[in-house]
Each structure stands twice: as C-alpha cells, then as structure tokens.
Chain A
C-alpha cells in the first residue's frame, strides 16, 4: 500500500510543478531580459551621448527650422533648428540619473520611516502612518507642482518635490515587511539575547524586506521619469534650452503640422519607462518565491 502510494505522491507534484512553473518562469525571465536590455541600451546612450549624437544638443541652425525627419536629421529639427535625435540622446543624461537619484533618496528615507514605525509600534507608529496617509491623499503631480512653484521652478527643485511625494509608499511597504518579520522566532531570539534594536533591524529584518523594496523602487523610477517630464512639460522643471524630454514635448505642443517635435521625445519616455516597468515586473517574479510557485 505504502510502497504503491509513494511513487505517485512523488511524481505527481513534480509533474504538476514543472508544467505550472515553466511558462511563468520563462515569462519572468523574458520580462527581465527585455527590461534589462532597454534600460541597458538607454544607459549606454546616456553615457556615450557626446560620442553617439550626430550634433551637439544646443547647436542652433536657424536656416533648418522645423525640418521633417531626413537622413541628416533622422528625427527632424525643432523650432530653432536643433537636431532632435541629438537632443534626445543628451536628454537621457538628464532623465535617467535624475529619476534614479530621486528614487534612491525617496526609497531610503521612506524605508527608514517605515522600518522605525513598524519596529517601534504603538503611538510613534500611529503618528508616522497618519503622516504617510496625509501625503498620499494628495495627487502626486499637484503636490509636486505646489512644492516646485513654492521653491521656484527648476530641475533641482522638481527633484526635491518628487522625493517629497514619493517616499510615503516606501514607508507603507517597509512597515508591512517589518511587521511580518518582527514576530518570527529568530527576531524574538535576537531581541531576547539583548541585541540592540538597530542591529536587529539591520541584520535580521532588512535583508528580508529588501526584495519587494527593490521591485517597487525599479517600478517607481518609471513614475519619477514621467513626473519629472510632466513638471518640465508644464514649465516647472528643466529650464530651456536643456534637452529634457518633457520640455521638448511642450515645445511641440500646438504644432500639429510638425508632429516629429513632440512625438520622438514622447517615444523616448515611453520606451525607457517601459524598460524600467519590465525590469520591475521581472524582478518581482524572480525575487518573490511565492509568486514563482503559483
């Protein structure tokens, strides 16, 4: 009886898991590979922009204003005859480091708040989470607009504004992670041994909480890129003639006959954000063992 049941019990789950696992795994890898490829390509473009760009991003050529895409200007020229392709390449040097830096600061500070709130609990937790709720009640673009307007327009202030609207979700995420790990035996054991709170957090709680934070940070880089572009589009972010993609789209507004002016910078934003979103999705499937088993 037992001998007969054993092979079935052993083979059945294996057979099922292979069938269920593979499509999901492959898709996760695909998303990760596509995302890494897009983000990698854009990073190379950003690093090597001065070498890759056919012209400098600020070179005016008034005789060649608003020229449609051609072999000399693959993406056309803008209203003062600047080469749009070169501006897009150089724009990557603004967009990517800006968004990565903003999310780095927002995630570290947000996580710190969340970790403290979750670990300390009680009244401090209650107060910090109400602060998080309040910031999340504002539509991000509006609060960022208000802050940038108050500080004065410019890319630096726009970045600060995006940090100020982006941290709370990290706090919420981190707090949840800490709460779910806090009551594990090994954490209680460490506490019982008299390990100070900071060490417990650092050595036992944070490593477990890291994967979801990494996923969210990757996805949020995409959001930060869109938000920066939106602030520049409105006129609060990057100041012309900087080749920032959002500002370039604004320059193509209400110029329907010159469609290339707004279209290509938009495609640049779309592709780089898609890249980070794929990367985040792929990382999520890779790092979350629970999802992987589903």
Chain B
C-alpha cells in the first residue's frame, strides 16, 4: 500500500515535470526575436500568405499567449513537433530515425563505464588512502575536467589516424550498406539480417565513441561506488561479519557490495543527463548519426523545431528514466517509501 502511494506521488510529479518541460520549450521558442512563425516555418514558407494563414491557425498564433501555449501543448501531446527546416520532414519522424543510434552509443558507454568504474571504485575503497585510491581520484578528476569533444578528437587521432586500432568516424564502413532498419540498432538489425560482416563492422565502430563517452561518466560512477562502499565498510554489520572471522573477500564481495550498489543504480540513472550531454558532442566528433548530431546540425542552421524537438525528447526520457529508477529504488529499499 505504502509502495503504491510512493509510486503514485512519483508519477504525479513526473506528469508535472512533463508539463513544465513543454512550457520551458515554449518559452525558449518565444525568445526568438524574429517572426514567431520562424519557429515552425522556413524562410521561404513564411513569405507565402496561404501557408502563413494555415500555420497561424495550426499553432493558434492569433490567440493570447496562454491559449498559444495550450495549442502548443496539445500539438506536442499529439506528437506534432513541427517540421524541420533542414530535412523538410516532421521532427518526430526524424527523431524516431536518429534515436536508436544514440541509444546504442549510450548503452555501450554506460556498459563501459560500469564495467570499469565499479571495480575502480571498489578497488579505491578497499585500498582507501593508498596508491589505488589516489590513482582512481586522479583518473576521475581528469575525466571530469576534459572536454569530451577534445577527448574524442584525441582518441580519433591516436587510435584511428596514428595506430589504426579502431575504424574512423561513422557507424559502418562506407562500402557497407545499412541493414534493413527493423529496430534501428545496427547490431540487432545486422543479426536479424544474418549479416556477420555488418555486425562486426558496427561493433568495431561502436567501441571508440563508446569508450570516449564512457570515460566521461566513469569518474562519476567510480566516485559513487567508492563513497558508498567506504560508508558501508564502517557499518556495524560489516564489523560483525569481520569479527566472525570472515575473509575480506567475502565481507566486501557478499556483504558490503550488495548494499553499496543501490546508490550506484541511482547514480547510473541520474548520470543519464550527463550521458545525453556527452552524446551530443561525441556524436558530433564521430559523425554518429544520432539525435545529438541532429541537434547540433539543427542549432547551427537555426532549425528551431528540430532543436526544440530533441530538447523536449531528451528531457522526457530523463523524467521517464528517473521514474523507473525511483520505482526500482522504492522496491529495492523499503526505507525510501516512507517520506
């Protein structure tokens, strides 16, 4: 019962957030000093009176500002984010096409950062204030201080141009054809098509950008793991386990780690915003055809519907991811439900 109430409150907050997100996008759109139609129409289209009239009606631009917002909200809820000036297609369709590439990259990055970051954090906590701890601290400090677009360029220079260990930018070798987009994920689609060469190429192209983006979040995950484990290692039940004569490996591995991983789950969820921020620039450097590069292209062409579409989409995903994380957290840790 308490769990249901907790979830109900979380869900209500999420709905409020979604409303707020659309409102922020609406306000940003109204910052454009030019003709309000310039937010949804390209230059040429704004000159045609009949197109103008149709759009004024569709976006309710002849109404008061609150009414305009109502129109905008309804359109967004219907999935109508306007048309992109650059691709001349509905923004929603563009987003659906570009999103899988971003998810593929983000998952690869998250996997890398968890696989490296969690052990690094454990190692640092177990060897607290000794060399591994300091090394982990330096690694995460440098990771947090390097601009990701620069790390990406450096990685490309070193591992592609100089050493040729990894392929260059893009998702596939230029001579390979994209598999038929069933899911949009190259790794899945190539498997579905039974094409091993495309799968291998897709995987090889995913590694370097995945590691660059992963390196960026790894520091956060390592630091959280370290802090959580350090706190738990000083807890009473860990002392009890030690005084029972259990080995350090058992104490850390099966007693402490299990509880320390709960905050790591939350942070991984919260790191999502960082992953998306990082993905925008990683995609730009690696010519990765995801929503990040789409947004960058859109913003440099002042393609407002497209950039607002990406902005709304990522914020909505963030809210949903955190709703899921909160739910998991509430299920995992009964103490959270009491508020």
Q: Which of B23, B25, B304, B314 contacts A149 (CB 8 A)?
A: B304
Closest approach, in angstroms, between the C-beta of B297 and any C-beta of chain A? Answer: 10
> How far is A233 from B300 in the complex, measured between Cα atoms in Å?
11
> How far is A256 from B158 in the complex, measured between Cα atoms in Å?
9
Give 19 new A-B contacts, CB below 8 A, not counting A138-B315, A141-B277, A230-B147: A130-B20, A134-B17, A134-B21, A134-B24, A137-B21, A137-B273, A138-B311, A141-B281, A147-B28, A150-B28, A150-B304, A151-B32, A230-B148, A235-B300, A263-B154, A266-B147, A269-B147, A273-B146, A281-B141
- Flag if B281 contacts A233 (CB, 8 Å): yes
- Flag if B29 contacts A139 (CB, 8 Å): no
Interface residues on chain B, number (Cβ under 8 Å): 51
Of the candidates A130, A131, A133, A152, the one having the most CB atoms from chain B within 10 angstroms of its own CB is: A133
Within 8 A of B (CB), among A109-124: none
- Flag if B147 contacts A246 (CB, 8 Å): yes
With CB as the reference atom, state the residue of chain A lying closest to B300. Answer: A235
Q: Which of B24, B32, B274 contacts A138 (CB 8 A)?
A: B24
List B residues at the A interface (Cβ < 8 Å). Answer: 13, 16-17, 20-21, 23-25, 28-29, 31-33, 129, 141-142, 144-150, 153-154, 156-157, 161, 273-274, 276-277, 280-281, 284-285, 295-296, 298-300, 302, 304, 307-308, 310-311, 314-315, 318-319
With CB as the reference atom, state the residue of chain A lying closest to B140. Answer: A277
Q: Does A140 contact B (CB under 8 A)?
A: yes
Q: List 15 A-B contacts (CB under 8 A).
A: A130-B20, A134-B21, A137-B20, A138-B311, A139-B274, A139-B276, A142-B295, A143-B24, A146-B299, A150-B32, A230-B281, A233-B147, A253-B285, A266-B147, A270-B142
Q: Does A283 contact B (CB under 8 A)?
A: no
Q: Does A243 contact B (CB under 8 A)?
A: no
List A residues at the B interface (Cβ < 8 Å). Answer: 23-24, 130-131, 133-143, 145-152, 222, 226, 229-230, 233-236, 246, 249, 252-253, 256-257, 259, 262-263, 265-266, 269-270, 273-274, 277-278, 281
List the B side residues contacting A134 at CB < 8 Å: 17, 20-21, 23-24, 315
Closest approach, in angstroms, between the C-beta of A278 and any C-beta of chain B? Answer: 7
- Flag if B157 contacts A140 (CB, 8 Å): no
- Flag if A278 contacts B28 (CB, 8 Å): no
> How far is A147 from B299 in the complex, measured between Cα atoms in Å?
10
Of the candidates B13, B147, B273, B311, the one having the most CB atoms from chain A within 10 angstroms of its own CB is: B147
List the A side residues contacting B144 at CB < 8 Å: 222, 273, 277
Please classify the interface of chain B as helix (H, G, I), strand (E, B), loop, or mixed, using the class held by over half of its residues. Answer: helix
With CB as the reference atom, state the residue of chain B lying closest to A143. Answer: B311
- Flag if B154 contacts A266 (CB, 8 Å): yes
Q: Which of B129, B161, B277 contacts A23 (CB 8 A)?
A: B129
Please list the 8 inter-chain residue pairs (A to B) with the smallest Cβ-Cβ separation, ordered nearest first.
A134-B20, A266-B150, A273-B145, A256-B161, A139-B276, A149-B299, A139-B277, A150-B31
List the A side residues contacting B25 at CB < 8 Å: 146
> How far is A136 from B302 in the complex, measured between Cα atoms in Å?
24
> How far is A268 from B43 in the complex, measured between Cα atoms in Å?
40
List the B side residues contacting A235 at CB < 8 Å: 300
- Flag if A135 contacts B24 (CB, 8 Å): yes
> How far is A236 from B298 in the complex, measured between Cα atoms in Å?
11
